[in-house]
Amino acid sequence: MKSHILTLLTALLLVLAAHASPQKPNIVFILADDLGYADLGCYGQQKIRTPNLDRMAAGGMRFTDFHAGGAVCIPSRSCLMTGLHEGHTRHHGSNNHIPLEAEDVTVAEVLHDAGYAAACLGKWAFSDDHDGPGAPQKQGWDYYYGEPNQTTVHSYYLPRVWEFDRDGSVTGQKPDTRLREIPVPENANGGRKVYSHDLLAAKTLAYLDAAARKAKPFFLYLAFTIPHATLEPPDVQPYASEDWPEPEKKYAAMVTRLDTTVGQIFERLKKLGLDEQTIVFFASDNGPTGGDGHRPEFFHSAGPLKGIKAMLTEGGLRVPMIVRWPGRIQSGAANDEPLAFCDFLPTAAALAGTRAPARLDGLSFLPALLGQPQPHHEFLYWEAGTTRAVRLGYWKAIWSSKGDTTELYNLQDDLAESRNLADQNLDVVKRAKEIMQQAHTVFPGETTAKEKPKKEKKSKN
């Protein structure tokens, strides 16, 4: 009898302990490359088929006012990894083809220290030196697979990829802390037989299988290159019969191929019993762009927004952001809180139950995800060469060194940024330019410091 009571008490204590210390969620972040705000059906796309991402939005939260870290690749991804806005990262504006340094703290390091296994697949982009301070194995990752070189990675038929596995659990080989070359012989000497994205997709599923065997949470960062030009999908299905220009068929096929991979990820999470334990984020690194004959206006990729990649208008900065966490995030929810990539690191830290580094620019948006009151940003900030932009509530200010002109838009009433209200709101312009003067950091080794805004001068409409 005593033994039976003891068994019941032990079981009760285990249940109470489980409720008192819930398991940390797995975190997956899927990042597309140059995908437009309106390239997904759930954001208004009419031609490109994205059923899996649309289902993700229907089962989670869709953000309508979320912004990339910058209007081009590396600065944007730097903000995502460090929790800093573009003025505080070493990859701001045009000063972006440089490595991360040892003193830079990434989200991978924060989560690794919180007990997570951290894996990056795809476009790392922060070091061309495979053993330098910016290399993935030096920045908190336990596993990496892909091409870390920012330029080389844009080929979809890579003759080689790179991999390291700190504990050997994914590769099944001896643990390694250095990147090793994995030849893709079918693509040697200009061969085009193995599509690099498909390699990443297969390795993603293999990583999930390996992660399921571990008794620890994981952070999986999937930095896919699709649909970045060059446009070279293996085929143009399911658009072969469409009466479209060939480049547009290729672009649409690449977006749908990405969508298919997202569906495979969710299927594998469910099969492994990890679905409800895993929060999945999906976003793009900046606005849409053309190339290889593709025109972003063909699919209205920016939707109602003005501009494209490399511009500080909303079309260059505002991106899709979908987050799904079954049982925790309300299905079919939409959120219009102004947020940005720098908010991901503190959000991930909050999910992991750990403290985020001090002096970040980002705010955790976990409250928004859980339907709770969300703290607001005082401002959001971006750079592009000697052009700068500040978001203050519904106001958006864009300053250009050319003529020292400032444009000001009320995004609540003018999402297309078509009516410059700077002359009628000089107090808002003044505050925005004060932020611009303070927000940029010059790092050691920068060859040129950004020109700073001069004293206020009336803008030209």
Tell me what percent of the residues of the chain surpass a pLDDT of 70. 91
The predicted pLDDT at position 461 comes to 35
Phi, psi of 7 (to 5 degrees): -65, -45
93: burial class by Cβ within 10 Å (0-12, 13-18, 19+)?
A: buried
Domain ranges (residues) in the chain: 24-369, 386-439
The predicted pLDDT at position 22 comes to 58
Residue with tokens 């003529």: 403
Residue 406: pLDDT band with limits 50, 70, 90:
very high
Task: Tell me the CA distances in angstroms from 68 to 129, 439, 441, one per residue in order.
Answer: 26, 17, 19
The predicted pLDDT at position 289 comes to 97
The predicted pLDDT at position 385 comes to 85
Residue 93 has pLDDT above 80, yes or no: no
| More confident position, 5 or 294 | 294
Q: Return mean pLDDT, the chain.
A: 92
Residue 98: pLDDT band with limits 50, 70, 90:
confident
Region 187-213: mean pLDDT is 97
The residues, ordered by sequence, that sit 6+ positions from 153 with a Cβ below 8 Å of its Cβ are 122, 123, 125, 146, 147, 225
- Counted residue by residue, the chain has a size of 461
Q: What sections of 171-226 are H helices per DSSP? A: 196-212
Region 205-229: mean pLDDT is 96
User: What's 386-439's CATH class?
Assistant: alpha beta
Tens digits of residue pLDDT in 239-268: 999 999 999 999 999 999 999 999 999 999
Architecture of domain 24-369: 3-Layer(aba) Sandwich (3.40)
Residue 59 has pLDDT above 70, yes or no: yes
The predicted pLDDT at position 447 comes to 53
| More confident position, 376 or 11 | 376
Phi, psi of 105 (to 5 degrees): -105, 120
Q: CB neighbours (10 Å) of residue 192?
A: 12
The predicted pLDDT at position 128 comes to 84
The CA distance from 259 to 264, in Å, is 9
Q: Which of 149, 145, 195 is nearest to 171 (CA)?
A: 145
Tens digits of residue pLDDT in 46-56: 999 999 999 99
Q: What sections of 21-106 are H helices per DSSP? A: 51-58, 73-82
The β-bridge partners of 223 are: 31, 122
Instruction: For the chain, report the end-to-end CA distance as a whole number of angstroms.
Output: 87
| More confident position, 79 or 447 | 79
Task: Tell me the CA distances in angstroms from 194 to 80, 150, 164, 244, one per residue in order.
Answer: 30, 20, 21, 26
Judge contact between 345 and 139, C-beta under 8 A.
no
The predicted pLDDT at position 95 comes to 57
Q: CB neighbours (10 Å) of residue 242?
A: 12
Tens digits of residue pLDDT in 268-315: 999 999 999 999 999 999 999 999 999 999 999 999 999 999 999 999
The predicted pLDDT at position 318 comes to 98
Residue with tokens 């730097």: 78
Q: How many helices (H) and strands (E) does the chain have?
A: 10, 16
Tens digits of residue pLDDT in 31-47: 999 999 999 999 999 99
